[in-house]
Structure 1
Amino acid sequence: MNTEVVNFIKEHKGDLLENWMAAMKISSHERSLNLISDDVFKDISHEFIEVAVSNIIDSENGFNQKVERFTERVVRIGWELVFLMDGLSTLKTLVLELMQKEKDYSSEEVIELITEIDRWVAPMTNQIIESYSNNWEKTVSLQKVALQELSAPLIPVFEKISVMPLVGTIDTDRARLIMENLLSGVVKHRSEVVLIDITGVPVVDTMVAHHIIQAADAVRLVGSRCMLVGIRPEIAQTIVNLGINLNQITTTSTLQKGIEKAMEFTNRKIVVLKEGKD
Structure 2
Amino acid sequence: MELNKKMYTFLIEKAKQLTEEWYESLDKSDPSGVYASNDPEVVKKLKEQNFRFHGYLCNLLIEEEEDFYKKFDDWIFEVSRSKDHLNTPIHFIIREFMRVRLQYMEFINEFARENSDISHERVDEWKDKFVKAFDKVVLKFTEETYTYQTKMLQAQREMINELSSPVIMLKGGVALLPLVGDIDTQRAKFLLENTLKQCAKLQVNHLLIDISGVVMIDTMVAYQLFQLIEALNLIGVKSTLSGIRPEIAQTAVQLGLNFDSVHTVSTLSRALDF
Give the TM-score, by structure 1 length: 0.67
Q: How many residues are treated as equivalent by the alignment? A: 253
Query: Which structure 1 segments of 5+ residues have no match?
Result: 266-278
The structural deviation recorded for 1:82 is 4.3
CA gap of 1:151–1:63, structure 2 versus 1, over 3 A, is same
- Report what 1:89 is aligned to: 98
Give the TM-score, by structure 2 length: 0.68
- Report what 1:269 is aligned to: none
**SS in structure 2 of the partner of residue 56 of structure 1:** helix
* CA RMSD, Structure 1 to Structure 2 (Å): 4.1
**SS in structure 2 of the partner of residue 115 of structure 1:** helix
Task: Decide which of 135, 139, 142 is 2:152's aligned counterpart.
Answer: 139
1:54 aligns with 2:62: no
**SS in structure 1 of the partner of residue 207 of structure 2:** strand
CA gap of 1:36–1:195, structure 2 versus 1, over 3 A, is farther
- Report what 1:175 is aligned to: 188
CA gap of 1:183–1:74, structure 2 versus 1, over 3 A, is closer
Amino acid at match of 1:261: R
**SS in structure 2 of the partner of residue 203 of structure 1:** coil
1:65 aligns with 2:65: no
CA gap of 1:64–1:192, structure 2 versus 1, over 3 A, is closer
Task: Decide which of 239, 242, 249 is 1:226's aligned counterpart.
Answer: 239
CA gap of 1:203–1:115, structure 2 versus 1, over 3 A, is same
- Report what 1:39 is aligned to: 38
Distance 2:58 2:79 in 1: 17
Q: Once structures 1 and 2 are overlaid, which stretch shifts more, 90-99 or 151-160? A: 90-99
**SS in structure 2 of the partner of residue 49 of structure 1:** helix
CA contact 1:206–1:244 (8 Å) conserved in 2: yes
Amino acid at match of 2:264: T
Aligned-residue sequence identity (percent) comes to: 25
Distance 2:207 2:198 in 1: 10
The structural deviation recorded for 1:231 is 4.2
Aligned ranges 1:71-150 → 2 under 5 Å:
71-73=80-82, 77-96=86-105, 108=120, 111=124, 114-115=127-128, 117-118=130-131, 121-147=134-160, 149-150=162-163
CA contact 1:9–1:95 (8 Å) conserved in 2: no
The structural deviation recorded for 1:133 is 4.2
- Report what 2:64 is aligned to: none
Amino acid at match of 2:50: I
Distance 1:79 1:36 in 2: 8
- Show CA shifts across 1:200-239 (max 9, x none): 5443221011111222233344554423334455544433
1:264 aligns with 2:263: no
Q: Once structures 1 and 2 are overlaid, which stretch shifts more, 87-96 or 41-50? A: 41-50
Amino acid at match of 2:19: K
